[in-house]
Amino acid sequence: MNKELEHSFVTELERNQNIVHKVCRIYTSNKEQHNDLFQEITIQLWKAYPKFRGDSKFSTWMYRVALNTAITLYRKSKRSVKTQDYESVIFKITSEDYDDTEEEQLKIMYKAIKQLSDIEKALIFLYLEDKNYKEIAETIGITEVNARVKMNRIKTKLKKILNP
């Protein structure tokens, strides 16, 4: 693949890397796994890039490849061992509007999300990314109605985890 294509890809990904980091955050539990998955997503994005026709936004296209990689293609590396509390290292609760109760609630919420299945994580991720049900359904490959039903079930499941 030529240098020009590589340059445009790396520039686009550098600009939109947030999306990949957020996918890694949902699907991994430590920094090593996060880096490992980030790398695998980058490779898959790069492999698919020559077929990216630009009829959708680069970021929209990224969601599909990144989620497909995290859910289906990624195989956890054996060298990744849990060394520290991931959430507390990478994702700090922001200091503005600091609220003890809120912080505690958020911590529990993030932990609860980790307990969801891979497919449920994809739904909640797209929901948090402000995607509408049509986009969520298309990315996952289900109907809009089913996406709504599944989302409601996830909300109930989360409620149960939070208030056992």
Residues that bind other proteins (CB under 8 A): 6, 9-11, 13-14, 17-18, 21-22, 38-40, 42-44, 46-48, 51-52, 61, 64-65, 67-69, 71-75, 77, 90-94, 102, 105-106, 109-110, 117-119, 122, 127-130, 138-143, 146, 149-150, 155, 158-159, 162
In the complex, the smallest distance separating the C-beta of residue 91 from other proteins, rounded to whole angstroms, is 6
| Cβ distance to other proteins smaller for residue 4 or 130 | 130
In the complex, the smallest distance separating the C-beta of residue 164 from other proteins, rounded to whole angstroms, is 14
Q: The dihedral of CA 162, 26, 132, 14: what is its sign?
A: positive
In the complex, the smallest distance separating the C-beta of residue 24 from other proteins, rounded to whole angstroms, is 9
CA angle centred on 9, ends 4 and 13, rounded to 5°: 150
Show the tokens assigned to 153.
């079930």
The two most distant CA atoms of the chain are separated, in Å, by: 55
In the complex, the smallest distance separating the C-beta of residue 110 from other proteins, rounded to whole angstroms, is 8
DSSP notation for 83-148:
-S-HHHHH-PPPSTT--HHHHHHHHHHHHHHHTS-HHHHHHHHHHHTT--HHHHHHHHTS-HHHHH
Angle at which helix 58-68 crosses helix 31-48, to 10 degrees, equals: 120
